[in-house]
Structure 1
């Protein structure tokens, strides 16, 4: 299907396409344990898996949260099944799902008509550049992109140090400060000559996630690529979904860490029983996390302070539990988990990413401190 044909589809067409969440999740899991398993080392070493992302898209991984009710829980579960095998890939799935989430919640009919179907079906891949804005809203940084209103749109410039799930033909959502007005949120096309992608220094993990520094030089952003002319109310509307979707990375990673702990019970259980954290205890923590995330995912557009506090607390638990699970999996596996080929050491590196990706553990604690009791 061509991009023109895809963009001719409406959100109703997509949600009415009889996508069976159960069947979609089963197919996502099947792709993860077969094709993705064979790619994990290459992805960890820097290969961007565009082909696999398209396969996940064909399975419905990026449109489970479309339609009435926003089945956010299904989208989270889809990412968790990917993360059981590779959290780097689950992060890319989060970037794509978040791009779709922006478009779902935008009130700009022109942007939705042009890009929502294409992003939801994976014909347009891309991500989210909200790390800097999320920090700026809490006084940690200032907005790095600046815009000026011009006829038919905005002129934007600035530099973003890290944006993921990008490539020459990809899109991402970004927020820029507006001279003489409120910040604006819009889509940016990486194929535009005014946009330059610069490779980043190698990371401890996540090198295969299409992460680049982005330089924007006097980019014209037309009105039909604007997600919200006033970014702050829009962010308040969609922020819970943005954060809850990240739980998919944590849940899948923790599941696999528990699995690794159980895998060595036979040969090492006689000595591992002296470790403070056992797999059953970690499974109880996971159950608490999943229960809370599933409950919160039922009402992602709730903007009440009590609900928002629960979302922030759940995301904090997701990061802390990821690090705890990976740490204890390494202790249980011992030397066999410490070799380069082991998935245990990869999980430890990926877990720290879950804890530091925006909003990071320290920012979440700051946010909880600033929220009313």
Structure 2
């Protein structure tokens, strides 16, 4: 599939189905095909490789645009597009040749199982997956409790593994049909239920180097972290933007007293969005990751304020089922502080960074 990104049909579908995607896990199979049909998954992927062109900033904008209508769909898009980014940034040409086209076509779902690895990179927790040399391949063991876009129709998930021979940890792409790969039932989430979120276990799964995204995980993770977090922050931007739009749709009588707060927060959000894309593009977040952690934390606060303003502006109508998407956005917003790296983890990491800088 080729051609530019086209959101008209996707936007209409998301508007019609956002509530169902939030609460009904049985709708999970429908999300990725819609994202693929619109070419949302191809934003920021070079045209020469089958993508829609543009930069990672375009991909961030795309995630934000989807999140304005459905955080469930944006969560799926983040997982899939981030895995595509891993493939693009991998030095494994054979892996890219084999998997990029099926990912862009939605024939396989990409799942970013690197939350544990990103926490490892920030000294928050040890790796939970282990690799042992087995001839010319590796026997993989371990489990990850929470991965999104583990599509039952077929997925490939990234995970970081430490090695028993003292070599640096590495990143493998784990296909759903490899022996020893087990997907749990869907996690019983309070929202985002159609996101194909489940636990993943590998029991003696043997994969060779053609499945290795990166041989030196710490170096590679530092390089891909700005895209990982940048695309993730797109979810916050879109959700906050939609909540603020909802306040402006309320009557003047309802929003008059908070009019100034609404416009101040709109300006803050626009500035944060600009900072995010610029920092990913110009290397700021690679060279000074703490600045990106600070922005991610600030966006959590922006989302919280935006949803609170929507609740205030819509009043009792927002508390009635089917009258607005406000209740759903409150549930969605409760997820933003806990998506890995969580708000608590980021604050802890920043505190360590400041102590180290002061020493």
TM, length-normalised to structure 1: 0.86
Alpha-carbon distance in 2 for matches of 1:267, 1:331: 11
Alpha-carbon distance in 2 for matches of 1:128, 1:142: 18
Offset at residue 98 of structure 1 (A): 0.4
- Quote the residue 1:369 is aligned against: 351
Alpha-carbon distance in 2 for matches of 1:182, 1:48: 40
- Quote the residue 2:338 is aligned against: 356
Describe the superposition over 1:84-129 as per-residue Cα deviations: whole angstroms up to 9, x where unpaired.
1001110110001100010011001111111122223322212111
Q: Is the 8 A contact 1:200 1:212 kept in 2?
A: yes
Instruction: Map 1:225-240 to 2 at 5 A.
Output: 225-240=211-226
Q: CA RMSD in A?
A: 2.2
Offset at residue 201 of structure 1 (A): 4.2
Q: Is the 8 A contact 2:187 2:197 kept in 1?
A: no
Instruction: Map 1:284-363 to 2 at 5 A.
Output: 284-299=267-282, 303-305=286-288, 308-341=289-322, 342-363=324-345
Structure 1 gap ranges (5+): 2-16
Alpha-carbon distance in 2 for matches of 1:371, 1:117: 40
- Quote the residue 2:112 is aligned against: 128
Segment drifting more, 342-351 vs 115-124: 115-124
Instruction: Map 1:1-373 to 2 at 5 A.
Output: 19-20=3-4, 24=5, 27-28=6-7, 30-45=8-23, 46-67=25-46, 71-168=55-152, 169-180=154-165, 181-269=167-255, 273=257, 275=258, 278-299=261-282, 303-305=286-288, 308-341=289-322, 342-371=324-353
Alpha-carbon distance in 1 for matches of 2:196, 2:283: 28
Q: Is the 8 A contact 1:145 1:158 kept in 2?
A: yes
Alpha-carbon distance in 2 for matches of 1:295, 1:91: 22
Structure 1 residues 258 and 177: alpha-carbon distance in aligned structure 2, compared to 1, 3 A threshold? same
Offset at residue 258 of structure 1 (A): 0.6
Alpha-carbon distance in 2 for matches of 1:281, 1:292: 17
Describe the superposition over 1:144-183 as per-residue Cα deviations: whole angstroms up to 9, x where unpaired.
1111012232111112111110123111111111112221
TM, length-normalised to structure 2: 0.89
- Quote the residue 1:10 is aligned against: none
SS of residue in 2 equivalent to 1:309:
helix
Alpha-carbon distance in 1 for matches of 2:283, 2:60: 12
